[in-house]
Amino acid sequence: QMNVVRRIGAVPACKSLALDRQGRTWWFAGTWAWDDAPDTPMHDGVNPPGYPWGAQAVVLDNDCVIVPCYIWDKPSFYYGSLETELRGQRLDSGCALSREAVASASYRRDGRRVLLTVLGSGKGKAFFMAEDGAYQDEAGPVSLHLSQPVVNGCTSLAMMSEHLMLAAVDGCVVELARDGVDWRETRRWAQTFGTSITIAVAAGRLWVSDRDANRVLVLDPDAGTVLAEFAPGGQDVASPCALSAPETLAARGNRAVVFDSGNQRLVKLSLR
C-alpha cells in the first residue's frame, strides 16, 4: 500500500489564500477543510481566475471572503462565505481594479465597507463593498505615504484597527495611520527580515512569512517581540519538513496557512 505524503507540484503559484474560523482554506478556485488530507480534492470549485490568480484575499469579521482578481479578462471579485461556493462577480465596465494589484485590506470609511487594493509600487485603488463582499461602487484612488521609496515592492496589508494598518514593504513591517482617504507611515519596525515578507494579523498577533530565511514568525505587534517561530529545517531546505521560500500567508485565530513556494505546497500551522 502506498500512502500519499504530499502532492508534488500541487500549488505552483499562489497569490491569494483565505482562512476562516472553521479552518476552511480557500485557494485558486475551491476550498479544503482543516482536517482534509493531502490527497483530498478541493470542495466547492468555481471558475478559476486568470493569471496571476488574484490579489491578496481578505476575510471580514463575519467570515465573508473577498478576492480581487480577473475572470475571462475582466476585473472581478470572488465573494461570500466558505461554507458554500464563493460567487464570482465579473464587471464588464466601470471598475478600476488593476490586474497588477497584489495587496488588499478592508475597513470602513464614512460608515461604508471599503476594499483597498495596492500595486507592488504602493499605488492604491479603493472600492465600496457590501458586507457579504460583493462589489458596489468605485471609492477612488488611495495613497500610501511612505517615508522611503518602494524598491522591491509591497506584498501584503493587514489591518490592526479601522485606523491602523500594517504593510509589508521591501522586507519591512510598516505601520500606517489613516490620513483622510489616504494612509501615512508612522513607524517602521526594527526587526530584520529578508527582502520579501508577507504578513497577516489574527487574534491580536502578527504572522510573518520570511521568504529568504525559510521561516514563519508570530510576533506581538505592540512590543515587536517574537512569540513563536516555525523553521523546522532551518536553512536546510532539503529537509522534507523544511519550508522553502514561504510566501503568501493567511491567518485566523491560532491557525495559519502558508504557501511554501519552493516545495509547491500549502502548509498548515497551529499556534499552541
Distance CA 4, CA 181 (A): 50
Distance CA 69, CA 57 (A): 9
pLDDT tens digits for 226-255?
999 998 766 566 677 789 999 999 999 999
**pLDDT confidence of residue 6:** 56
pLDDT tens digits for 141-166?
999 999 999 999 999 999 999 999 99
pLDDT tens digits for 63-102?
999 999 999 999 999 999 999 999 999 999 999 999 999 9
pLDDT tens digits for 171-202?
999 999 999 999 999 999 988 899 999 999 99
Cell of 205: 498577533
Distance CA 266, CA 38 (A): 9
pLDDT tens digits for 34-46?
999 887 888 887 8
Residue 107: which of 127, 79, 80 has the closest Cα? 127
Contact between residue 92 and residue 103 where contact means Cβ atoms under 8 Å apart: no
ω into residue 246 within 30 of 0, thus cis?
Answer: no
Amino acid present at 191 = Q
Distance CA 84, CA 225 (A): 38
Question: Taking the complete model, does pTM exceed 0.85, yes or no?
Answer: yes
Q: Classify residue 215 as exposed, middle or buried by CB count within 10 Å of its CB (0-12, 13-18, 19+).
A: buried
> Considering just the CA atoms, what is the radius of gyration of the chain in Å?
18
Instruction: Name beta bridge partners: 173.
Output: 168
The sign one gets for the Cα dihedral 182, 187, 188, 189 is: negative
Residues 6+ apart with CB under 8 A from 103: 55, 56, 117, 118, 154, 155, 156, 157, 167, 168
Q: What is the DSSP letter of 162?
A: T
Cell of 31: 476550498
Residues 6+ apart with CB under 8 A from 135: 77, 79, 89, 91, 95, 127, 128, 129
pLDDT-based confidence at residue 5 (cuts at 50, 70, 90) = low
